[in-house]
Structure 1
Amino acid sequence: MTRKYKVLFLCRENSARSIIAEALLRELAGHRFEAFSAGPEPAARVHPIAAAQLRPGISDLGALSPKSWLEFTGEWAPRMDLVIALDACVAGHHAPLFPGEPSLSHWTFGDPLTGEMPEPERVRLFEKVFWQIVRQVSTFIESPQYAAVPEAAARVDSPACVSDAV
């Protein structure tokens, strides 16, 4: 069995953009990637407009829930290959250190939750951001850099690394 790349998407509340990115990567390339999402101030639930955007094409919406990024910092946490910040406030020096020394990246998308606006306008903004994330995730999946098995998979896991296989 081939090891999958582990990718963690970060966003402040982990209720919209990072949830959308996690769901799309899992749905479109779950055979090559394990997708996760988290944030420093997780919301109580996935934003209903984000869930509505995902509903037509995502097979397991029940697996999606906002999580604290602290769930991914302990020695028991899965070792990420890549952490992608989708929010400027979680990029770079604001994010905690994640085990395994993952590569860090930043994808810029507008926040569909920012500001007061009528509901129809917010829905249109969510739709715009959704399609931007679809394009970015699709480009990411097609990247030759992620076509090969992760380097760590070539190593034989030592007993101390058994928890990495979760």
Structure 2
Amino acid sequence: MTKKYKVLFLCRENSARSIIAEALLRELAGHRFDAFSAGPEPAPRVHPIAIAQLRPGISDLGVLCPKSWLEFTGEWAPRMDLVIALDACVAGHHAPRFPGEPALSSWVFADPLADGMLEPERVRSFEKVFWQIVRQVSTFIELPQYAAAPARTGDASCASVNDTTTPAIQCNV
């Protein structure tokens, strides 16, 4: 049995973008990845428009809930292989240290919860971000370095971390 890659998606409130990414990675490649999401200021619930976007194709919506990223920083926390920030406010130096020193990457998407949007505009924003995340996750799971089991600690070397210009982190495993 091969070990799965553990991926943590970060977003400020962990109620929309990171939840969508977690659900999509689990649904599209759950046999190769354990997907998680969290944020520094978790919302009380997953945003209903995020659930509406996910509902047609995601089989296990019940496991999705906003969580604090502190749940992933203790000694008891699962050791992540990769942490991906989906929001500039949690990228890079803003995120805490995660056990195991996982590779860090940024996939920054517009905030569909930004203040000042009317409801129809917010729904369009969610739809646009949803499809951007679908494309990004699909590209990510096709990368050759994630086709095999993850390397043991110290065996992976990453050429690019916190890179917002490429579609996904480039790691040599």
Relative to its length, the structure with more helix (as a share) is 1
Q: Say whether residues 1:113 and 2:118 are aligned partners.
A: no
Matches of 2:150 and 2:105, distance apart in 1 = 17
CA distance in 2, matches of 1:59, 1:21: 14
| TM-score w.r.t. length of structure 1 | 0.91
Aligned residue pair count: 154
Structure 2 portions without partners, runs of 5+? 156-173
Offset at 1:56? 0.5
SS in structure 1 at match of 2:134 = helix
Quote how far apart the aligned CAs of 1:100 are: 0.6
Distance 2:18 2:106 in 1: 12
Aligned position for 1:35:
35
Identity of aligned residues (%): 86
1:1-166 alignment runs, 5 A limit: 1-152=1-152
- Taking only aligned residues, the RMSD between alpha carbons, in angstroms, comes to 1.2
- Partner Cα separation in structure 2 for residue 130 and residue 17 of structure 1: 8
Q: Secondary structure of 1:151's partner?
A: coil
Structure 1 residue 131: Cα displacement? 0.0
Residue 118 of structure 1: CA displacement?
1.6
CA drift at 1:108: 1.4
Listed as ranges, the gaps of 5+ residues in structure 1 are 156-166
Q: Name the aligned partner's letter for residue 125 of structure 1.
A: S
Q: Distance in 2 between matches of 1:117 and 1:151?
A: 44
**Deviation per residue, 1:55-113 (Å, 9 max, x gap):** 00000100000000000000000000000000111011110000011000000110000
TM-score when scaled to structure 2?
Answer: 0.87
Deviation string, structure 1 residues 93-142 (Cα, Å, up to 9, x no partner): 11000001100000011000002122111101100000000000000000
Q: For 2:137 and 2:42, how far apart are their aligned partners in 1?
A: 22
4+ residue stretches of structure 1 with deviation over 6 A? none
Shift of 1:152: 2.0
